[in-house]
Amino acid sequence: MADPRLLIVDDEERFLTTTKALLQKRGIVTFTSTNGTKAMEILERESIDVVILDVKMPGLDGVEVLRVIKKRHPLVEVIMLTGHASAESAVGGLNLGAFDYLMKPCDIQTLIDKINGAYAKKETALENLRKTKIDKIISHPLEVFDKDRSDNP
């Protein structure tokens, strides 16, 4: 299993830089963004496996961002990060398809464990998807040409 590619979205810039440095050191390719809009751009541009999303941010709210991510990139796993009152929103986030949520302050090891969990889930989902595709190809070889474009974002 390759190392996961990660995107952290949080309005605390210092947190982003430090965490990025720590994660990079531990072999996780990390992108950062201070707001939802920029995060969406990065998601479009880069191949991202897991997103860590602060629930409360100025501008586009964490839950809103989650919704968009799940709509446009259903395979990307999202971990909600909450530092405050919005644990309820985080739980709401779980209902919207987030992988899990973490309460601030959390140490780096917990974060990494969660990231790995999310990544594993994504990989399994992808694997399943591939299998079904292969099954399909075996049963209906000609359909591959029709649907290939839509499967690949």
Residue 31 Ramachandran class (φ > 0 left, ψ -120 to 50 alpha, else beta): beta
> Looking up tokens 């968009």, which residue turns up?
68
Task: Choose which of 37, 72, 74, 84 interacts with other proteins (CB under 8 A).
Answer: 84
Tokens of 96: 């919207």
Q: Is residue 92 within the footprint of other proteins (CB under 8 A)?
A: yes
d(CA 101, CA 118): 11
Tokens of 103: 């309460």
d(CA 51, CA 99): 10
- Which range binds other proteins by CB under 8 A, 9-17, 41-49, 131-139, 143-151? 9-17
Q: Is residue 99 within the footprint of other proteins (CB under 8 A)?
A: no
Q: Is residue 31 within the footprint of other proteins (CB under 8 A)?
A: no
The H or E element containing residue 90 is helix 87-95
Task: Choose which of 24, 27, 103, 130 interacts with other proteins (CB under 8 A).
Answer: 103
Q: Is residue 65 within the footprint of other proteins (CB under 8 A)?
A: no
Where do contacts with other proteins occur on this chain (CB under 8 A)?
12, 14-15, 18-19, 21-22, 25, 56, 63, 83-93, 95-96, 103-108
